[in-house]
Amino acid sequence: MKKELRIFFTAMMFLTRLPVPKFTDHSQEYLEKSARYFPVIGWMVAGISWLTFVVFNKYIGEDIAIIASIIAGVLTTGAFHEDGFADCCDAFGGGWTKEKILTIMKDSRLGTFGVIGLISILAVKFLLLKEMPKFTPSLSEPSINIFSNYGQFLLILLAAHGVSRLMGVYTIRFYDYVTDIDASKSKPITSNKPSIGLLITATIFALAPFALLDPRLLVAVILPIIATRQAGEYFKKWIGGYTGDCLGAIQQIAEILFYLSVIIIWRYWL
């Protein structure tokens, strides 16, 4: 149990800025095994974002609440995934060879493609999240119980953050890491591919929120899976595999597509 706790806190240390116990270290063994808990870390980010939304929505208003929830998520992760998405926009937008793409990706400065990509994905995320409460069945009869009012919204956020981080685990499993691995923050995770058992565990965690949702919402997982596959092939074509920044980009894209899928399902099927 203590070992599993260390592995969990290692995942938490790797993906967020949240404080962890002092016994948590940078052990490569634990970092490699920590991928099984990536979806669970996603739940934590989702929970913080949801709680921020509820508080701001009660005292200020829905639009500000959604913006605040996005900011809360960004602060929780240290913009870990958003930074990867922006770097990918810069690299693949401005580079035409493997060497140029990787050089741009390592550059800490943010270029035009990165700025446009970051603004675009945050704007899209805001607009999609703004639609979410409208399709929450329990909102038809508001009560003083926030879980009754926004329970479905919480479950959707848990599923979105869990599934989108699971896509990164799949990418690590089925594609090769590229660039100078010794200079990469993702080295401990990618030096060995996740085992099938680890992949199954991560999948179970990612899909757990669906046990409390309408089964038809499972269809929302399809688009993120397709996008992850296409992104993986695209990265493989241009640079031979993926980098840590590519994983961040996949997480952001998968999260956006999950929200979009949920809205479509709610509007035309449920």
With respect to residue 209, please indicate whether it lies within any of the assigned structural domains: yes
177: left (phi over 0), alpha (psi -120 to 50) or beta: beta
With respect to residue 30, please indicate whether it lies within any of the assigned structural domains: no
With respect to residue 29, please indicate whether it lies within any of the assigned structural domains: no
With respect to residue 47, please indicate whether it lies within any of the assigned structural domains: yes
Q: Which residues contact 155 (CB under 8 A, 6 or more apart)?
A: 209, 212, 213
With respect to residue 12, please indicate whether it lies within any of the assigned structural domains: no
Task: Quickly tell me which residue has 């499993």 as its tokens.
Answer: 173
Is the whole-model pTM more than 0.75? yes
Tell me the residue range of the domain where 96 lies. 36-268
Taking the C-alpha atoms of residue 21 and residue 62, their distance in angstroms, rounded to an integer, is: 35
The amino acid sitting at 63 is D
Taking the C-alpha atoms of residue 3 and residue 1, their distance in angstroms, rounded to an integer, is: 5
Per-residue pLDDT of the chain (270 residues; tens, 9 = 90+): 788 999 999 999 999 999 999 888 778 888 889 999 999 999 999 999 999 999 998 899 989 999 999 999 999 999 999 999 999 999 999 999 999 999 999 888 999 999 999 999 999 999 999 988 666 655 555 566 666 678 889 999 999 999 999 999 999 999 999 966 455 555 556 667 889 999 999 999 999 999 999 999 999 999 999 999 999 999 999 999 999 999 999 999 999 999 999 999 998 987
Give the count of domains, the chain. Answer: 1
With respect to residue 249, please indicate whether it lies within any of the assigned structural domains: yes
Q: Is the separation of the CB atoms in 79 and 16 below 8 Å?
A: no
What count of Cα atoms within 13 Å lies in the side-chain half-sphere of residue 265? Answer: 20
With respect to residue 21, please indicate whether it lies within any of the assigned structural domains: no
Q: Is the separation of the CB atoms in 88 and 244 below 8 Å?
A: no
With respect to residue 20, please indicate whether it lies within any of the assigned structural domains: no
